[in-house]
Chains A and B, each alone.
Chain A
Protein backbone atom coordinates (compact mmCIF):
# COMPACT_ATOMS: atom_id res chain seq x y z
CA UNK A 1 0.00 0.00 0.00
CA UNK A 2 1.33 3.43 -0.82
CA UNK A 3 2.37 5.56 2.16
CA UNK A 4 -0.10 8.05 3.61
CA UNK A 5 0.34 11.63 2.39
CA UNK A 6 0.83 14.42 4.94
CA UNK A 7 -2.68 15.66 4.18
CA UNK A 8 -4.05 12.42 5.64
CA UNK A 9 -2.71 13.29 9.09
CA UNK A 10 -3.95 16.87 8.93
CA UNK A 11 -7.41 15.72 7.85
CA UNK A 12 -7.46 13.00 10.52
CA UNK A 13 -6.79 15.63 13.15
CA UNK A 14 -9.55 17.80 11.64
CA UNK A 15 -11.94 14.88 11.72
CA UNK A 16 -11.08 14.09 15.35
CA UNK A 17 -11.74 17.73 16.27
CA UNK A 18 -15.05 17.56 14.43
CA UNK A 19 -16.08 14.50 16.45
CA UNK A 20 -15.04 16.29 19.64
CA UNK A 21 -17.16 19.28 18.58
CA UNK A 22 -20.08 16.95 17.82
CA UNK A 23 -19.97 14.87 21.00
CA UNK A 24 -18.07 17.03 23.50
CA UNK A 25 -21.01 19.10 24.78
CA UNK A 26 -23.23 16.03 25.22
CA UNK A 27 -20.48 14.23 27.13
CA UNK A 28 -20.02 17.35 29.29
CA UNK A 29 -23.64 17.39 30.43
CA UNK A 30 -23.50 13.63 30.97
CA UNK A 31 -20.62 14.19 33.40
CA UNK A 32 -22.31 17.19 35.04
CA UNK A 33 -25.52 15.24 35.63
CA UNK A 34 -23.58 13.31 38.29
CA UNK A 35 -23.00 16.60 40.15
CA UNK A 36 -23.20 16.46 43.95
CA UNK A 37 -26.37 17.80 45.63
CA UNK A 38 -24.83 21.25 46.08
CA UNK A 39 -23.50 21.55 42.54
CA UNK A 40 -24.63 23.91 39.82
CA UNK A 41 -24.99 24.01 36.03
CA UNK A 42 -21.26 24.44 35.34
CA UNK A 43 -17.97 22.99 36.55
CA UNK A 44 -16.48 22.53 39.13
CA UNK A 45 -18.09 19.30 40.24
CA UNK A 46 -19.05 19.47 43.90
CA UNK A 47 -18.75 15.78 44.59
CA UNK A 48 -20.42 13.07 42.59
CA UNK A 49 -23.83 11.64 43.28
CA UNK A 50 -26.95 10.22 41.72
CA UNK A 51 -28.91 12.98 43.47
CA UNK A 52 -30.28 14.56 40.29
CA UNK A 53 -31.32 11.27 38.76
CA UNK A 54 -33.12 10.37 41.99
CA UNK A 55 -34.80 13.77 41.75
CA UNK A 56 -36.24 12.80 38.37
CA UNK A 57 -37.98 9.77 39.81
CA UNK A 58 -39.59 11.75 42.59
CA UNK A 59 -42.79 13.75 42.31
CA UNK A 60 -42.01 16.80 40.21
CA UNK A 61 -43.14 20.25 41.24
CA UNK A 62 -43.82 21.16 37.63
CA UNK A 63 -44.72 19.00 34.68
CA UNK A 64 -45.07 15.32 34.18
CA UNK A 65 -41.83 13.86 32.85
CA UNK A 66 -42.77 10.20 32.85
CA UNK A 67 -46.19 10.80 31.36
CA UNK A 68 -44.59 12.82 28.58
CA UNK A 69 -41.99 10.10 28.02
CA UNK A 70 -44.74 7.48 27.65
CA UNK A 71 -46.59 9.74 25.20
CA UNK A 72 -43.45 10.43 23.16
CA UNK A 73 -42.62 6.73 23.06
CA UNK A 74 -46.13 5.75 21.93
CA UNK A 75 -46.20 8.55 19.37
CA UNK A 76 -42.74 7.51 18.11
CA UNK A 77 -43.96 3.96 17.52
CA UNK A 78 -47.13 5.17 15.78
CA UNK A 79 -45.16 7.48 13.51
CA UNK A 80 -42.57 4.77 12.85
CA UNK A 81 -45.07 2.14 11.70
CA UNK A 82 -47.03 4.63 9.60
CA UNK A 83 -43.87 6.03 8.01
CA UNK A 84 -42.58 2.58 7.05
CA UNK A 85 -45.89 1.41 5.56
CA UNK A 86 -46.68 4.63 3.68
CA UNK A 87 -43.09 5.02 2.42
CA UNK A 88 -43.03 1.50 0.97
CA UNK A 89 -46.40 2.07 -0.68
CA UNK A 90 -45.26 5.44 -1.97
CA UNK A 91 -41.94 4.02 -3.19
CA UNK A 92 -43.75 1.26 -5.10
CA UNK A 93 -46.26 3.78 -6.45
CA UNK A 94 -43.53 6.00 -7.87
CA UNK A 95 -42.05 3.05 -9.78
CA UNK A 96 -45.33 2.81 -11.66
CA UNK A 97 -45.10 6.42 -12.86
CA UNK A 98 -48.72 7.26 -12.05
CA UNK A 99 -50.42 10.46 -13.21
CA UNK A 100 -49.72 13.35 -10.89
CA UNK A 101 -46.54 11.79 -9.52
CA UNK A 102 -44.69 15.01 -10.29
CA UNK A 103 -47.04 17.00 -8.08
CA UNK A 104 -46.74 14.50 -5.23
CA UNK A 105 -42.94 14.65 -5.54
CA UNK A 106 -42.92 18.43 -5.24
CA UNK A 107 -45.32 18.22 -2.28
CA UNK A 108 -42.85 15.90 -0.58
CA UNK A 109 -40.00 18.33 -1.17
CA UNK A 110 -42.21 21.17 0.14
CA UNK A 111 -42.99 19.11 3.21
CA UNK A 112 -39.26 18.75 3.80
CA UNK A 113 -38.30 22.41 3.35
CA UNK A 114 -41.32 24.17 4.84
CA UNK A 115 -40.44 25.90 8.11
CA UNK A 116 -41.75 23.62 10.87
CA UNK A 117 -43.57 26.42 12.64
CA UNK A 118 -45.87 26.81 9.64
CA UNK A 119 -47.11 23.24 10.01
CA UNK A 120 -47.64 23.84 13.71
CA UNK A 121 -49.50 27.09 13.10
CA UNK A 122 -51.57 25.85 10.15
CA UNK A 123 -52.66 22.57 11.73
CA UNK A 124 -53.39 24.35 15.00
CA UNK A 125 -55.57 26.91 13.16
CA UNK A 126 -57.48 24.25 11.23
CA UNK A 127 -58.26 22.30 14.38
CA UNK A 128 -59.33 25.37 16.34
CA UNK A 129 -61.51 26.72 13.51
CA UNK A 130 -63.11 23.30 13.06
CA UNK A 131 -63.86 23.23 16.77
CA UNK A 132 -61.64 20.19 17.34
CA UNK A 133 -59.21 19.78 20.19
CA UNK A 134 -55.57 19.37 19.28
CA UNK A 135 -54.12 16.19 20.72
CA UNK A 136 -50.71 14.58 20.35
CA UNK A 137 -52.20 11.41 18.87
CA UNK A 138 -54.20 13.19 16.15
CA UNK A 139 -52.94 16.62 15.14
CA UNK A 140 -49.48 15.97 16.63
CA UNK A 141 -49.26 12.63 14.86
CA UNK A 142 -50.17 14.07 11.46
CA UNK A 143 -47.84 17.04 11.83
CA UNK A 144 -44.92 14.77 12.63
CA UNK A 145 -45.66 12.63 9.57
CA UNK A 146 -45.01 15.68 7.37
CA UNK A 147 -41.43 15.57 8.69
CA UNK A 148 -40.78 11.80 8.72
CA UNK A 149 -42.49 10.83 5.44
CA UNK A 150 -40.16 12.85 3.18
CA UNK A 151 -37.14 11.11 4.73
CA UNK A 152 -38.80 7.71 4.42
CA UNK A 153 -39.77 8.32 0.80
CA UNK A 154 -36.38 9.71 -0.22
CA UNK A 155 -34.77 6.58 1.24
CA UNK A 156 -37.24 4.41 -0.69
CA UNK A 157 -36.48 6.32 -3.92
CA UNK A 158 -32.78 5.68 -3.34
CA UNK A 159 -33.46 1.99 -2.69
CA UNK A 160 -35.64 1.48 -5.77
CA UNK A 161 -33.20 3.41 -7.97
CA UNK A 162 -30.71 0.63 -7.24
CA UNK A 163 -33.24 -2.18 -7.43
CA UNK A 164 -32.54 -4.83 -10.06
CA UNK A 165 -35.80 -5.40 -11.91
CA UNK A 166 -34.68 -8.78 -13.23
CA UNK A 167 -35.45 -10.37 -9.85
CA UNK A 168 -39.09 -9.47 -10.26
CA UNK A 169 -39.10 -10.59 -13.88
CA UNK A 170 -37.63 -13.92 -12.83
CA UNK A 171 -40.32 -14.35 -10.19
CA UNK A 172 -43.03 -13.46 -12.67
CA UNK A 173 -41.61 -15.88 -15.25
CA UNK A 174 -41.81 -18.60 -12.62
CA UNK A 175 -45.50 -17.87 -12.28
CA UNK A 176 -45.60 -15.72 -9.15
CA UNK A 177 -48.54 -13.34 -8.81
CA UNK A 178 -47.74 -9.69 -8.22
CA UNK A 179 -48.55 -10.06 -4.52
CA UNK A 180 -46.27 -13.10 -4.24
CA UNK A 181 -43.51 -11.21 -6.04
CA UNK A 182 -43.87 -8.34 -3.59
CA UNK A 183 -44.09 -10.54 -0.51
CA UNK A 184 -41.36 -13.09 -1.33
CA UNK A 185 -38.98 -11.15 -3.58
CA UNK A 186 -39.22 -7.36 -3.24
CA UNK A 187 -39.82 -7.01 0.52
CA UNK A 188 -37.00 -9.38 1.60
CA UNK A 189 -34.57 -7.51 -0.67
CA UNK A 190 -35.48 -4.04 0.62
CA UNK A 191 -35.87 -5.30 4.22
CA UNK A 192 -32.65 -3.82 5.67
CA UNK A 193 -33.50 -0.38 4.24
CA UNK A 194 -36.91 -0.54 5.89
CA UNK A 195 -35.17 -0.78 9.24
CA UNK A 196 -33.40 2.44 8.28
CA UNK A 197 -36.74 4.08 7.49
CA UNK A 198 -38.06 2.86 10.85
CA UNK A 199 -35.05 4.40 12.62
CA UNK A 200 -35.76 7.77 10.98
CA UNK A 201 -39.48 7.49 11.75
CA UNK A 202 -39.03 6.74 15.41
CA UNK A 203 -36.16 9.06 16.31
CA UNK A 204 -37.35 12.06 14.30
CA UNK A 205 -40.74 11.79 15.97
CA UNK A 206 -39.31 11.17 19.43
CA UNK A 207 -37.20 14.35 19.21
CA UNK A 208 -39.56 16.58 17.22
CA UNK A 209 -40.24 19.92 18.80
CA UNK A 210 -41.41 22.63 16.42
CA UNK A 211 -44.09 20.64 14.59
CA UNK A 212 -45.69 19.47 17.84
CA UNK A 213 -45.47 22.83 19.59
CA UNK A 214 -49.02 23.96 18.76
CA UNK A 215 -50.43 20.56 17.87
CA UNK A 216 -49.81 18.44 20.98
CA UNK A 217 -52.58 19.94 23.07
CA UNK A 218 -52.59 19.89 26.84
CA UNK A 219 -50.55 16.71 27.16
CA UNK A 220 -46.92 17.49 26.37
CA UNK A 221 -44.49 15.26 24.55
CA UNK A 222 -41.02 14.87 26.05
CA UNK A 223 -39.17 17.52 23.95
CA UNK A 224 -41.89 20.06 24.81
CA UNK A 225 -41.57 19.12 28.48
CA UNK A 226 -37.79 19.49 28.38
CA UNK A 227 -38.02 22.85 26.66
CA UNK A 228 -40.50 23.98 29.30
CA UNK A 229 -37.98 22.98 31.93
CA UNK A 230 -35.23 25.16 30.42
CA UNK A 231 -37.14 28.27 31.39
CA UNK A 232 -37.82 27.40 35.03
CA UNK A 233 -35.37 24.71 36.11
CA UNK A 234 -31.86 25.85 36.94
CA UNK A 235 -30.45 22.73 38.55
CA UNK A 236 -28.53 19.80 37.02
CA UNK A 237 -31.80 17.83 37.06
CA UNK A 238 -32.13 19.23 33.53
CA UNK A 239 -28.85 17.55 32.58
CA UNK A 240 -29.93 14.30 34.25
CA UNK A 241 -33.07 14.25 32.11
CA UNK A 242 -31.07 15.21 29.01
CA UNK A 243 -28.59 12.43 29.69
CA UNK A 244 -31.30 9.83 30.25
CA UNK A 245 -33.21 10.62 27.06
CA UNK A 246 -29.98 10.77 25.05
CA UNK A 247 -29.00 7.36 26.44
CA UNK A 248 -32.45 6.13 25.49
CA UNK A 249 -32.05 7.52 21.94
CA UNK A 250 -28.61 5.91 21.65
CA UNK A 251 -30.01 2.55 22.79
CA UNK A 252 -32.72 2.78 20.14
CA UNK A 253 -30.15 3.71 17.47
CA UNK A 254 -27.91 0.77 18.45
CA UNK A 255 -30.93 -1.55 18.45
CA UNK A 256 -31.95 -0.43 14.94
CA UNK A 257 -28.38 -0.63 13.62
CA UNK A 258 -27.97 -4.16 15.03
CA UNK A 259 -31.28 -5.15 13.45
CA UNK A 260 -30.12 -3.71 10.12
CA UNK A 261 -26.80 -5.55 10.35
CA UNK A 262 -28.57 -8.79 11.28
CA UNK A 263 -31.05 -8.55 8.44
CA UNK A 264 -28.31 -7.68 5.92
CA UNK A 265 -26.39 -10.79 7.00
CA UNK A 266 -29.53 -12.89 6.85
CA UNK A 267 -30.28 -11.58 3.40
CA UNK A 268 -26.75 -12.38 2.25
CA UNK A 269 -27.10 -15.93 3.60
CA UNK A 270 -30.54 -16.58 2.22
CA UNK A 271 -30.16 -14.65 -1.00
CA UNK A 272 -27.60 -16.83 -2.68
CA UNK A 273 -27.05 -20.54 -2.89
CA UNK A 274 -23.90 -20.17 -4.93
CA UNK A 275 -21.46 -22.95 -4.24
CA UNK A 276 -24.13 -25.13 -2.69
CA UNK A 277 -25.83 -26.08 -5.92
CA UNK A 278 -25.93 -29.56 -7.37
CA UNK A 279 -26.00 -28.61 -11.04
Chain B
Protein backbone atom coordinates (compact mmCIF):
# COMPACT_ATOMS: atom_id res chain seq x y z
CA UNK B 1 0.00 0.00 0.00
CA UNK B 2 1.43 3.41 -0.90
CA UNK B 3 2.60 5.49 2.02
CA UNK B 4 0.17 8.32 1.29
CA UNK B 5 -2.81 6.00 1.32
CA UNK B 6 -1.63 4.28 4.48
CA UNK B 7 -1.24 7.62 6.21
CA UNK B 8 -4.73 8.63 5.07
CA UNK B 9 -6.28 5.45 6.45
CA UNK B 10 -4.49 5.87 9.77
CA UNK B 11 -6.11 9.26 10.28
CA UNK B 12 -9.30 8.91 12.31
CA UNK B 13 -10.63 12.29 11.18
CA UNK B 14 -10.09 11.38 7.54
CA UNK B 15 -11.92 8.09 7.99
CA UNK B 16 -14.83 9.83 9.68
CA UNK B 17 -15.01 12.31 6.80
CA UNK B 18 -14.83 9.53 4.25
CA UNK B 19 -17.57 7.61 6.07
CA UNK B 20 -19.86 10.65 6.08
CA UNK B 21 -19.26 11.21 2.36
CA UNK B 22 -19.89 7.54 1.59
CA UNK B 23 -23.15 7.49 3.57
CA UNK B 24 -24.25 10.67 1.82
CA UNK B 25 -23.58 9.18 -1.59
CA UNK B 26 -25.56 6.07 -0.73
CA UNK B 27 -28.41 8.16 0.63
CA UNK B 28 -28.39 10.38 -2.42
CA UNK B 29 -28.75 7.41 -4.77
CA UNK B 30 -31.16 5.43 -2.65
CA UNK B 31 -33.21 8.26 -1.12
CA UNK B 32 -36.31 7.72 -3.28
CA UNK B 33 -36.46 4.07 -2.15
CA UNK B 34 -35.48 4.72 1.46
CA UNK B 35 -37.69 7.57 2.50
CA UNK B 36 -40.79 6.53 4.44
CA UNK B 37 -43.07 8.98 2.64
CA UNK B 38 -41.76 9.60 -0.90
CA UNK B 39 -44.73 11.73 -1.88
CA UNK B 40 -44.06 13.92 1.18
CA UNK B 41 -41.04 15.47 -0.42
CA UNK B 42 -43.40 17.65 -2.41
CA UNK B 43 -47.09 17.22 -1.51
CA UNK B 44 -48.78 19.19 1.24
CA UNK B 45 -50.85 17.28 3.81
CA UNK B 46 -52.56 20.05 5.76
CA UNK B 47 -54.22 17.62 8.21
CA UNK B 48 -50.88 16.73 9.79
CA UNK B 49 -49.29 20.19 10.15
CA UNK B 50 -46.41 20.69 12.58
CA UNK B 51 -46.45 17.30 14.28
CA UNK B 52 -43.43 16.90 16.57
CA UNK B 53 -40.90 14.10 15.96
CA UNK B 54 -42.51 10.68 16.58
CA UNK B 55 -42.05 7.04 15.65
CA UNK B 56 -43.94 7.69 12.44
CA UNK B 57 -42.35 11.03 11.55
CA UNK B 58 -38.79 10.85 12.89
CA UNK B 59 -38.06 14.52 12.26
CA UNK B 60 -41.70 15.69 12.66
CA UNK B 61 -43.76 17.34 9.96
CA UNK B 62 -43.47 20.85 8.53
CA UNK B 63 -45.91 23.74 8.17
CA UNK B 64 -47.54 22.05 5.17
CA UNK B 65 -47.71 18.65 6.84
CA UNK B 66 -44.81 17.15 4.91
CA UNK B 67 -42.51 14.62 6.55
CA UNK B 68 -39.30 16.46 7.45
CA UNK B 69 -37.25 13.24 7.52
CA UNK B 70 -38.24 12.39 3.94
CA UNK B 71 -37.50 15.92 2.77
CA UNK B 72 -34.14 16.10 4.56
CA UNK B 73 -33.09 12.79 3.03
CA UNK B 74 -34.18 13.87 -0.44
CA UNK B 75 -32.25 17.09 0.17
CA UNK B 76 -29.02 15.07 0.10
CA UNK B 77 -29.57 14.46 -3.60
CA UNK B 78 -30.15 18.14 -4.28
CA UNK B 79 -27.12 19.28 -2.28
CA UNK B 80 -24.74 16.72 -3.76
CA UNK B 81 -25.95 17.31 -7.29
CA UNK B 82 -25.47 21.08 -6.97
CA UNK B 83 -22.03 20.73 -5.39
CA UNK B 84 -20.78 18.15 -7.90
CA UNK B 85 -21.90 20.10 -10.95
CA UNK B 86 -20.59 23.41 -9.59
CA UNK B 87 -17.19 22.00 -8.69
CA UNK B 88 -16.91 20.24 -12.06
CA UNK B 89 -17.94 23.39 -13.90
CA UNK B 90 -15.49 25.51 -11.94
CA UNK B 91 -12.74 22.99 -12.73
CA UNK B 92 -13.57 23.08 -16.44
CA UNK B 93 -13.12 26.86 -16.47
CA UNK B 94 -10.38 27.27 -13.88
CA UNK B 95 -7.97 24.47 -14.78
CA UNK B 96 -7.37 25.35 -18.47
CA UNK B 97 -7.08 29.03 -17.55
CA UNK B 98 -4.64 28.31 -14.73
CA UNK B 99 -2.58 25.97 -16.92
CA UNK B 100 -2.29 28.51 -19.72
CA UNK B 101 -1.55 31.37 -17.35
CA UNK B 102 1.20 29.39 -15.65
CA UNK B 103 2.70 27.91 -18.81
CA UNK B 104 2.64 30.90 -21.14
CA UNK B 105 3.16 33.61 -18.54
CA UNK B 106 3.66 37.07 -20.03
CA UNK B 107 0.61 39.01 -21.15
CA UNK B 108 -1.65 35.97 -21.27
CA UNK B 109 -0.73 34.97 -17.75
CA UNK B 110 -1.05 38.49 -16.39
CA UNK B 111 -4.39 39.00 -18.09
CA UNK B 112 -5.83 35.77 -16.71
CA UNK B 113 -4.51 36.34 -13.22
CA UNK B 114 -5.80 39.93 -13.09
CA UNK B 115 -9.20 38.55 -14.10
CA UNK B 116 -9.13 36.19 -11.13
CA UNK B 117 -8.15 39.16 -8.94
CA UNK B 118 -11.28 40.96 -10.08
CA UNK B 119 -13.47 37.94 -9.34
CA UNK B 120 -11.89 37.61 -5.92
CA UNK B 121 -12.02 41.31 -5.05
CA UNK B 122 -15.20 40.65 -3.08
CA UNK B 123 -16.16 37.55 -1.09
CA UNK B 124 -17.67 34.74 -3.16
CA UNK B 125 -21.15 35.04 -1.67
CA UNK B 126 -21.42 38.73 -2.60
CA UNK B 127 -20.63 38.11 -6.25
CA UNK B 128 -22.68 34.91 -6.38
CA UNK B 129 -25.70 36.80 -5.05
CA UNK B 130 -25.28 39.45 -7.73
CA UNK B 131 -24.97 36.79 -10.46
CA UNK B 132 -27.93 34.84 -9.13
CA UNK B 133 -30.08 37.95 -8.89
CA UNK B 134 -29.47 38.80 -12.53
CA UNK B 135 -30.92 35.46 -13.53
CA UNK B 136 -34.37 34.29 -12.46
CA UNK B 137 -34.02 32.58 -9.06
CA UNK B 138 -33.77 28.82 -9.63
CA UNK B 139 -31.44 25.95 -8.86
CA UNK B 140 -29.94 26.35 -12.32
CA UNK B 141 -29.08 30.01 -11.86
CA UNK B 142 -27.70 29.37 -8.38
CA UNK B 143 -25.42 26.70 -9.84
CA UNK B 144 -24.34 29.01 -12.66
CA UNK B 145 -23.64 31.79 -10.15
CA UNK B 146 -21.59 29.47 -7.94
CA UNK B 147 -19.62 28.10 -10.89
CA UNK B 148 -18.86 31.57 -12.22
CA UNK B 149 -17.57 32.63 -8.81
CA UNK B 150 -15.68 29.49 -7.81
CA UNK B 151 -13.41 28.92 -10.84
CA UNK B 152 -10.80 31.50 -9.69
CA UNK B 153 -9.94 29.24 -6.75
CA UNK B 154 -8.93 26.46 -9.15
CA UNK B 155 -7.24 28.89 -11.51
CA UNK B 156 -5.06 30.28 -8.70
CA UNK B 157 -3.92 26.92 -7.45
CA UNK B 158 -3.29 25.44 -10.88
CA UNK B 159 -1.40 28.59 -11.86
CA UNK B 160 0.94 28.39 -8.88
CA UNK B 161 1.59 24.68 -9.31
CA UNK B 162 2.07 25.00 -13.08
CA UNK B 163 4.71 27.67 -12.58
CA UNK B 164 6.51 25.36 -10.21
CA UNK B 165 6.34 22.34 -12.53
CA UNK B 166 7.17 24.40 -15.61
CA UNK B 167 10.62 25.26 -14.28
CA UNK B 168 11.46 21.54 -14.22
CA UNK B 169 14.07 20.26 -16.65
CA UNK B 170 11.75 17.63 -18.08
CA UNK B 171 9.57 20.35 -19.57
CA UNK B 172 12.59 21.82 -21.36
CA UNK B 173 13.40 18.35 -22.62
CA UNK B 174 9.87 17.87 -23.91
CA UNK B 175 9.94 21.23 -25.66
CA UNK B 176 13.29 20.39 -27.23
CA UNK B 177 11.89 17.13 -28.52
CA UNK B 178 9.10 19.09 -30.17
CA UNK B 179 6.17 18.02 -28.03
CA UNK B 180 3.02 20.04 -28.78
CA UNK B 181 1.79 22.56 -26.23
CA UNK B 182 -1.53 20.79 -25.48
CA UNK B 183 0.42 17.58 -25.00
CA UNK B 184 2.78 19.18 -22.51
CA UNK B 185 -0.04 20.95 -20.69
CA UNK B 186 -2.48 18.09 -20.32
CA UNK B 187 -0.27 15.00 -20.35
CA UNK B 188 2.76 16.25 -18.45
CA UNK B 189 1.87 19.27 -16.35
CA UNK B 190 -1.71 18.39 -15.41
CA UNK B 191 -0.82 15.07 -13.72
CA UNK B 192 1.73 16.89 -11.59
CA UNK B 193 -0.85 19.47 -10.60
CA UNK B 194 -3.59 16.91 -9.96
CA UNK B 195 -3.04 16.39 -6.21
CA UNK B 196 -3.56 20.09 -5.53
CA UNK B 197 -6.69 20.05 -7.70
CA UNK B 198 -8.13 17.05 -5.88
CA UNK B 199 -7.60 18.69 -2.51
CA UNK B 200 -9.21 21.92 -3.69
CA UNK B 201 -12.15 20.05 -5.23
CA UNK B 202 -12.86 18.15 -2.00
CA UNK B 203 -12.79 21.30 0.09
CA UNK B 204 -14.78 23.02 -2.66
CA UNK B 205 -17.58 20.47 -2.30
CA UNK B 206 -18.02 21.50 1.34
CA UNK B 207 -17.81 25.20 0.57
CA UNK B 208 -20.30 24.87 -2.27
CA UNK B 209 -22.84 22.94 -0.20
CA UNK B 210 -22.65 25.73 2.38
CA UNK B 211 -22.90 28.64 -0.07
CA UNK B 212 -25.60 26.92 -2.15
CA UNK B 213 -27.69 26.42 0.99
CA UNK B 214 -27.15 30.08 1.82
CA UNK B 215 -28.40 31.12 -1.62
CA UNK B 216 -31.40 28.84 -1.12
CA UNK B 217 -32.04 30.36 2.28
CA UNK B 218 -31.92 33.89 0.85
CA UNK B 219 -34.43 32.94 -1.85
CA UNK B 220 -31.88 33.04 -4.68
CA UNK B 221 -31.70 29.30 -5.25
CA UNK B 222 -34.09 26.38 -5.35
CA UNK B 223 -37.79 27.27 -5.55
CA UNK B 224 -40.48 25.58 -3.42
CA UNK B 225 -41.40 22.77 -3.15
CA UNK B 226 -37.85 21.51 -3.86
CA UNK B 227 -36.47 19.79 -0.76
CA UNK B 228 -33.36 21.97 -0.59
CA UNK B 229 -31.85 22.34 2.90
CA UNK B 230 -31.36 26.12 2.89
CA UNK B 231 -34.84 26.71 1.53
CA UNK B 232 -36.30 24.33 4.14
CA UNK B 233 -34.72 26.35 6.96
CA UNK B 234 -36.05 29.57 5.40
CA UNK B 235 -39.57 28.16 5.12
CA UNK B 236 -39.47 26.95 8.71
CA UNK B 237 -38.98 30.42 10.16
CA UNK B 238 -42.65 31.31 10.11
CA UNK B 239 -43.48 28.33 12.33
CA UNK B 240 -40.97 29.16 15.06
CA UNK B 241 -40.71 28.61 17.96
CA UNK B 242 -43.31 25.77 17.81
CA UNK B 243 -41.93 23.84 14.85
CA UNK B 244 -38.24 23.87 15.83
CA UNK B 245 -37.64 20.41 14.34
CA UNK B 246 -38.40 21.85 10.93
CA UNK B 247 -35.39 24.21 11.17
CA UNK B 248 -33.10 22.01 13.24
CA UNK B 249 -32.81 18.89 11.07
CA UNK B 250 -32.06 20.38 7.64
CA UNK B 251 -29.41 22.55 9.33
CA UNK B 252 -27.86 19.49 10.95
CA UNK B 253 -27.81 17.81 7.56
CA UNK B 254 -25.87 20.77 6.12
CA UNK B 255 -23.48 20.58 9.07
CA UNK B 256 -22.78 16.88 8.61
CA UNK B 257 -22.34 17.14 4.85
CA UNK B 258 -19.92 20.06 5.06
CA UNK B 259 -18.10 18.46 7.98
CA UNK B 260 -17.55 15.28 5.96
CA UNK B 261 -15.94 17.07 3.05
CA UNK B 262 -13.91 19.37 5.30
CA UNK B 263 -12.50 16.50 7.36
CA UNK B 264 -11.58 14.48 4.32
CA UNK B 265 -10.26 17.48 2.41
CA UNK B 266 -8.00 18.48 5.30
CA UNK B 267 -6.59 15.00 5.58
CA UNK B 268 -6.01 14.86 1.83
CA UNK B 269 -4.16 18.15 1.98
CA UNK B 270 -1.91 16.83 4.73
CA UNK B 271 -1.05 13.83 2.60
CA UNK B 272 -0.74 15.67 -0.71
CA UNK B 273 1.35 18.53 0.61
CA UNK B 274 3.63 17.56 3.48
CA UNK B 275 4.76 21.17 3.83
CA UNK B 276 1.32 22.10 5.09
CA UNK B 277 0.96 19.11 7.37
CA UNK B 278 -0.94 19.78 10.54
CA UNK B 279 1.69 19.62 13.23
CA UNK B 280 0.97 16.99 15.77
Partners in one complex: no
Q: Which residues of A contact B (CB under 8 A)?
A: none
